[in-house]
Amino acid sequence: MKKFIINILLFGSLISFSSCSDDSLDPTLSQSKDLLTNLNTISDLNTALLGGYNRMQSASYYGRDLIIFGEVRSDNAFSNAKSNRFVTVGRMNMLINDAYSADTWSQIYKTIGSANIVLGKSPSEISGDQNKIKHIQGQAYIMRALGHYDLLRVFGQQFIAGQGGMNALGVPYVTTFRNPSDMYPSRQTVQQNYDAIMKDLDAAIQLMDSSYDDPSKHYFTSMAAHALKARIALYFKQYQLAEQEAAIVVNSNKYSVATATSYLSTFNTDSTNNVIFSVDFNATDNLSSNSLANIYRGSYGDIVALKNLYDIYDANDIRKTSAFIAKNGTSTAEYRNIGKYPNVSIPSDDVPVIRFEEVVLIYAEALLHNSKAGDALIQLNKIPANRNAVQYTVANDTNILLERRKELAFEGFRFDDLARTGTSMPLVDPVRQTFGTVNFGDYNYAFPIPNTEVGANTNVKQNYKY
């Protein structure tokens, strides 16, 4: 079946209230007919929300692909084509019928569809604790905002030369469920996407009550909303907002930077104090060979780290030890991610989406750009001070981006950091990096819109040069 937005809105977004298994995520038309009519209790609402969290686990979303997109198109890693995975992505030479583009587009819109189910009724139409209902709907607002932001940073034209910056084409921002007027949505501008994302996050913050926060870190909280606002504000160089939102999280006393001693365990232990939100995996719902663990070093093992990444760490840095990064066999030019997503045999490790360390680095960068270099240095040095690494003597963009590269390696941030800072793709190993010379502003800084989508919805325009 073709994977385009009309199907996602009418069918692919729906879930059966009897189960949250993968099989229940694509019900028949008869199952979906009276869905909103029968959404009446907190239990119904929560089950619909769990369907969205379930969809975030997919290998084409946070289970693997979205994270790998940010690594294989950078100076961190490359695809060795061992199992022929991520070859076109690594070359930055994707075609309009590329499955990576189509699968991720479809899966994120399905996740957004689940959020829109939860948001399809007002709290007063649901029986039960009204504050808890609002808290559930607040999570749905965050899910919808994050989904659209993820689509925007992969498919948006904001960094493509000549396409208009904030006035460039973004993605369709889908906010309704089974609304005939939205069956064939058009692409909005990047500015419109940004405004809608922030509006959703603000709505979440207004609705949510921290007394209902789940301690597992597997559910969105108002702190996650503030952290995402900070991340997105930084991405779009809204430094005042980034500082404001990051400060709320940093000064909340809810989280802490992991110490050098505990750092390794934060990637194989659930609910650690440096995680703000993570996608849950366990022995039952792991992705087996399609997991992050297996693409980094397991049965597939296509994604290999470059020596250039290994070399940036100080000699005593915990992140340079073999517990985190090790030579790929006897090669002197290739390394493997060992410490993050470590469980290969049964890939049940959570996938952190928002870590406190990222927010600290956002805070440092925003402070720097708001003429508070002294405060920025204090925040920046919180990370190396807890990694047995040499601390910085000055806070500047170079040092902050360097520390982001060190701390967030293998988590999917590197491409976006290069793109948002107007950097051409660094070619540090022309033998292994297969994208060749890619300058900032080139068309392939964005993925193609899936051909199935463009073919089915004439309101969606294909990206420049595809």
What pLDDT score does 182 carry? 64
- Per-residue confidence (pLDDT) for residue 183, from 0 to 100: 75
Task: State the chain's mean pLDDT as an integer.
Answer: 92
Q: Is the pLDDT of residue 242 over 90?
A: yes
- pLDDT at res. 197: 99
Residue 195 lies in a domain: yes
Domains held by the chain: number = 1
Query: Could you read off the pLDDT of 138-179 as tens digits, one per residue?
Result: 999 999 999 999 999 999 999 999 999 999 999 999 998 765
Is there a domain that residue 192 lies in?
yes
Greater model confidence, 12 or 256: 256
* Percent with pLDDT over 90 in the chain: 89
**Is residue 462 in some structural domain?**
no
Tokens 């994707």 belong to residue: 94
In a domain, 461, yes or no: no
What pLDDT shows up at residue 181?
56
- The predicted pLDDT at position 3 comes to 36
pLDDT for res 180: 55
Please tell me the predicted confidence (pLDDT) of residue 104. Answer: 98
How far is it, in rounded angstroms, from Cα 453 to Cα 266?
39
CATH of residue 283's domain is 1.25.40.390
The residues, any chain, with a CB within 8 Å of residue 422's CB and separated by 6 or more, are 159, 440
At 11 the pLDDT is 39
> What does each C-alpha distance from 130 to 49, 118, 208, 212, 411 come to in angstroms?
16, 14, 11, 12, 37
Q: Is the dihedral of CA 431, 397, 325, 74 positive or negative?
A: negative
Which sign does the torsion angle of CA 428, 434, 438, 441 carry?
Answer: negative
User: What does the H/E/C string look like for the chain?
Assistant: CCCCHHHHHHHHCCCCCCCCCHHHHCCCHHHHCCCCCCCCEHHHHHHHHHHHHHHHCCCCCCCCHHHHHHHHCCCCEEECCCCCCCHHHHHCCCCCCCHHHHHHHHHHHHHHHHHHHHCCCCHHHCECCHHHHHHHHHHHHHHHHHHHHHHHHHHCCCCCCCCCHHHCECCCCCCCCCCHHHCCCCCCEHHHHHHHHHHHHHHHHHHCCHHHCCCCCCCCCHHHHHHHHHHHHHHCCCHHHHHHHHHHHHCCCCCCCCCCCCCHHHHCCCCCCCEEEEECCCCCCCCHHHCHHHHHCCCCCCEEEEHHHHHCCCCCCHHHCCCCEEECCCCCCEEEECCCCCCCCCCCCCEEEEEHHHHHHHHHHHHHHCCCHHHHHHHHCCCHHHCCCCCCCCCCHHHHHHHHHHHHCCCCCHHHHHHHCCCCCCCCCCCCCCCCCCCCCCHHHCCCCCHHHHHHCCCCCCCCCC
Q: How far is CA 56 from the centre of its chain?
A: 10
pLDDT of residue 271: 87
- The single residue listed with the structure tokens 């004439």 is 458
pTM for this entry: 0.94
Distance CA 61, CA 109 (A): 10
Alpha-carbon Rg of the chain, whole angstroms? 21
Is 464 within the bounds of a domain?
no
Task: Find all residues with CB under 8 Å of 258, minimum gap 6, and list them.
Answer: 266, 272, 273, 274, 357, 386
Main-chain dihedrals φ then ψ at residue 446, nearest 5 degrees: -120, 150
Going by pLDDT thresholds of 50, 70 and 90, the confidence category of residue 37 is confident
**Is 50 exceeded by the pLDDT of residue 378?**
yes
Please name the residue that has the structure tokens 């007919």.
33
Residue 100 has pLDDT above 50, yes or no: yes
343-365: pLDDT as tens digits: 999 999 999 999 999 999 999 99
Among 39, 97, 55, 126, smallest CA distance to 450 is for: 97
Would 451 be classed as within a structural domain? Answer: yes
Q: What pLDDT, on the 0 to 100 scale, is given for residue 34?
A: 56
Q: Which of 171-185, 188-202, 309-323, 333-347 has the lowest mean pLDDT?
A: 171-185
pLDDT recorded at residue 22: 39
Confidence of residue 103 (pLDDT cuts 50, 70, 90): very high
Contact 105, 12 (CB under 8 A): no
Q: What CA–CA distance (Å, rounded) separates 263 from 320?
A: 12
On the question of pLDDT at 126 being above 70, the answer is yes
What was the pLDDT predicted at 32? Answer: 41
User: In this model, does residue 5 exceed pLDDT 90?
Assistant: no
Asked whether residue 325 is domain-assigned, the answer is yes
| Cα-to-chain-centroid distance, residue 341 | 15
Q: Half-sphere exposure of 395 toward its Cβ, with a 13 Å CA cutoff?
A: 25
All residues at 6 or more sequence positions from 399 whose CB lies less than 8 Å from its CB, including other chains:
380, 392
Query: Does pLDDT of 457 surpass 90?
Result: yes
Domain that includes residue 53, residue range: 5-456
Average pLDDT over residues 408-429: 98
* Per-residue confidence (pLDDT) for residue 30, from 0 to 100: 36
Question: What pLDDT, on a 0 to 100 scale, did the predictor assign at position 38?
Answer: 81
Whether residue 466 lies inside any domain: the answer is no
Residue 388 neighbours by CB distance under 10 Å: 18
Q: Residues 260-303: pLDDT tens digits?
A: 999 999 999 988 999 999 999 998 989 999 999 999 999 999 99
